[in-house]
Amino acid sequence: GQQLNQSPQSMFIQEGEDVSMNCTSSSIFNTWLWYKQEPGEGPVLLIALYKAGELTSNGRLTAQFGITRKDSFLNISASIPSDVGIYFCAGQLPSGTYKYIFGTGTRLKVLA
Amino acid sequence: DARVTQTPRHKVTEMGQEVTMRCQPILGHNTVFWYRQTMMQGLELLAYFRNRAPLDDSGMPKDRFSAEMPDATLATLKIQPSEPRDSAVYFCASGPLDLQGEKLFFGSGTQLSVL
Closest residue to A42, CB basis, from B48, B50, B106: B106
pLDDT of residue B96: 85
User: Please, what is the end-to-end C-alpha distance for chain B in angstroms?
Assistant: 36
Among A71, A88, A63, A86, residue whose Cα is nearest residue A11: A86
In A, minimum Cα distance to B97 occurs at A98
Among B105, B89, B110, residue whose Cα is nearest residue B30: B105
Q: pLDDT tens across A34-71, in order? A: 999 999 999 999 999 999 999 999 999 999 999 999 99
According to DSSP, the residues that pair with B108 across neighbouring strands are none
- How many Å apart are CA A52 and CA A47, to the nearest integer? 14
Task: Tell me what percent of the residues of chain A surpass a pLDDT of 70.
Answer: 94
- How many Å apart are CA B54 and CA B47, to the nearest integer? 7
User: Taking the CA atoms of chain A, what radius of gyration do you get in angstroms?
Assistant: 13
User: From the CA of A104, how many Å to the nearest CA of chain B?
Assistant: 6
Q: How confident is the model at residue A4 (pLDDT cuts 50, 70, 90)?
A: confident
What is the β-pairing status of strands B97-98 and B88-95?
Answer: unpaired
Kindly list the distances between the CA atom of residue B61 and the CA atoms of A9, A99, B79, in Å, as whole numbers in the listed order.
Answer: 29, 17, 9
A33 vs B contacts (CB less than 8 Å)? 103-104
CB pairs under 8 A between A and B: 55
pLDDT of residue A3: 67
Q: How confident is the model at residue A94 (pLDDT cuts 50, 70, 90)?
A: confident
Q: pLDDT tens across A69-86, in order? A: 999 999 999 999 999 999
What is the rounded average pLDDT for all residues in chain B? Answer: 92
Interface of A with B in 26-55 (CB under 8 A): 30-31, 33, 35, 40-45, 48, 50
**What is the average per-residue pLDDT within B15-23?**
98
What is the rounded average pLDDT for all residues in chain A? Answer: 92
pLDDT of residue A99: 76
* A85 close contact with B: CB closer than 8 A: no
Q: B31 vs B1, which has greater pLDDT? A: B31
